[in-house]
Amino acid sequence: MNKIETFEQFMATTKGAIGINDFLINILIAAILSGVLGFIYVKFGKSLSNRKQFAANFIIITLTTMMIIAIVKSSLALSLGLVGALSIVRFRTAIKEPEELAYMFLSISIGLGMGASQTQITITGFLFIIGVIILRGFINKNVKNGNFFITINTVGTDFSLSKLTGILEKHCMKAELKRIDDENNTINIVLNAEFRRSDDIEGVRNELKSIDENIKISIFEDKGLV
């Protein structure tokens, strides 16, 4: 037997194939964990997008990842084929908020762990991370602050970020740009700002209106929905 034949046999050898009963148990656990993750994201997430709609993708991502890992882990040849297949995949929808990426990565991690039959480690790690998220959520809920979300929508004006920065420096203790969309001459900006006093909120509004009286402004306190 020469080295080429030995390598071909190694590539074709199936190792660690998961039984159908174990696979069904693991995929059920993965579905439950991804469902819990979706609930936690809707309850404790801070994303401005539709959290329920985004969380609905977790179960699909988790189960798909698990199925892929369960298949390719049995063969090196399949693993190499997966690399080639994924090289042609392109994601058309950008994830615009870091929190979405974090939860998406956790969803994929569940699928990886369950697909590799690392059930105890996956469940233990998942429960620990969820515990940290819940604890952080309750701590942040009990912290009183003067944080406000500001959304600005303007069309076809000479509005610029330099003007906005000057206004915020004058009236805000701290301001953080969360999101900016510029499409078809329409600018949408989302900010998180901390004001010294309530008069500063009106000051920001008045100065923004002085740039364009048709500008749309929404200011609401960051206390969450519940």
Answer yes or no: do 123 and 32 share one domain: yes
Q: Looking at the structure, tell me whether residues 38 and 75 fall in a common domain.
A: yes
Q: Are residues 23 and 135 in the same domain?
A: yes
Domain final residue pick, 109, 142, 175? 142
Same domain, yes or no, for 125 and 26? Answer: yes
In a domain, 162, yes or no: yes
Q: How much is the mean pLDDT over the chain? A: 76
We report the CATH number of the domain holding residue 204 as 3.30.70.260
Q: Among the ranges 17-21, 132-136, 156-160, 213-217, which has the highest mean pLDDT value? A: 132-136
Is position 226 within any domain? no
Question: What is the extent of the structural domain holding 46?
Answer: 3-142
Neighbours of 76 (CB within 10 A): 15
Is 179 among the domain residues? Answer: yes
pLDDT digits 0-9 by tens, 46-56: 776 678 888 88
Indicate the pLDDT class of residue 18, thresholds 50, 70 and 90.
low
* Two structure tokens written together for 123: 């469940």
**DSSP string covering 132-149:** HHHHHHHHHHH----EEE
Q: Does 7 map to a domain?
A: yes
Q: Are 122 and 81 members of one domain?
A: yes
Environment class of residue 84 by beta-carbon count within 10 Å: exposed (0-12), middle (13-18) or buried (19+)? Answer: exposed
Query: Residue 115: pLDDT band by 50, 70, 90 thresholds?
Result: confident
Judgement on whether residues 211 and 100 belong to the same structural domain of the protein: no
Number of domains in the chain: 2
Residues 135 and 177 in one domain: no
**116 and 56 in a common domain:** yes
**Same domain for 113 and 64:** yes
The pLDDT tens digits for 49-103 are 678 888 888 999 899 888 888 877 766 555 655 555 555 555 555 556 678 888 9
* More confident call, 221 vs 23: 23
CA 168 to CA 189: how far, in whole Å?
13
Separation between Cα atoms, residue 163 and residue 199, nearest integer Å: 20
